[in-house]
Chain A
Amino acid sequence: GTDDDGHDEL
């Protein structure tokens, strides 16, 4: 799934 604070990848 995804992080709570959004996506860290570009």
Chain B
Amino acid sequence: MNIFRLTGDLSHLAAIIILLLKIWKSRSCAGISGKSQILFALVFTTRYLDLFTSFISLYNTCMKLIYIGCAYATVYLIYAKFRATYDGNHDSFRVEFLVVPVGGLSVLINHDFSPLEILWTFSIYLESVAILPQLFMISKTGEAETITTHYLFCLGLYRALYLFNWIWRFYFEGFFDMIAIVAGVVQTVLYCDFFYLYVTKVLKGKKLSLPA
């Protein structure tokens, strides 16, 4: 555990809680991609199956349970409790174009050809692109609520901090996981355009709106 890993995890947790609170307090999931949230629930489910097979630490187990619990709670709020506010017409990204290639790639390129390891690999690859339906939705509507941009910023920051964590671990522990690193770089790069808009607009007090 190093400072980048810890702040990365906390940033991830902050993102998840910001989104849950936003939906709960406003009683609305307008502007939120339910498809991205389903993908994240799938990511956590396939990655954390090792909860049943190996114990790493109390911290590790607690965070996994919180992430999974919050992911399903978010999906429940969007598709059940506040379904009437869900903007399905704008959430039109075709997720099969992500899930099918990612599934194929995880069978082809993995550390070990075993069911749990393939599912872990699938979750890593899927996480790297799971935000695309949300970014697609924002590009379609041309705007995002400020609280939604805070959510996205924390979510992008989390993976960027993990990149520093991996650099740290490579130098001080000789540890590297090529699958996680490459997918993490892809994931972080997908946020770069958003990071730019966040810094130049949202942090200066303006709403995030894209030019028509």
Report whether A8 and B56 are in contact in the complex, using a CB–CB cutoff of 8 Å. yes
Chain A contact residues, majority secondary structure? loop
Q: How many residues of B contact A (CB 8 A)?
A: 22
Interchain residue pairs with CB less than 8 A apart (16): A1-B177, A2-B111, A2-B112, A2-B117, A5-B56, A6-B54, A6-B116, A6-B120, A7-B47, A7-B50, A7-B180, A8-B57, A9-B162, A9-B165, A10-B9, A10-B63
Q: Which residue of A lies closest to B123 (CB)?
A: A7
Distance to closest chain B CB from A9 (angstroms): 7
Q: What residues make up the interface of A, taking CB atoms closer than 8 Å to B? A: 1-2, 5-10
Report whether A8 and B111 are in contact in the complex, using a CB–CB cutoff of 8 Å. no
Question: B12: CB under 8 A from chain A?
Answer: yes
Docked Cα-Cα span, A7 to B47, in Å, equals: 9
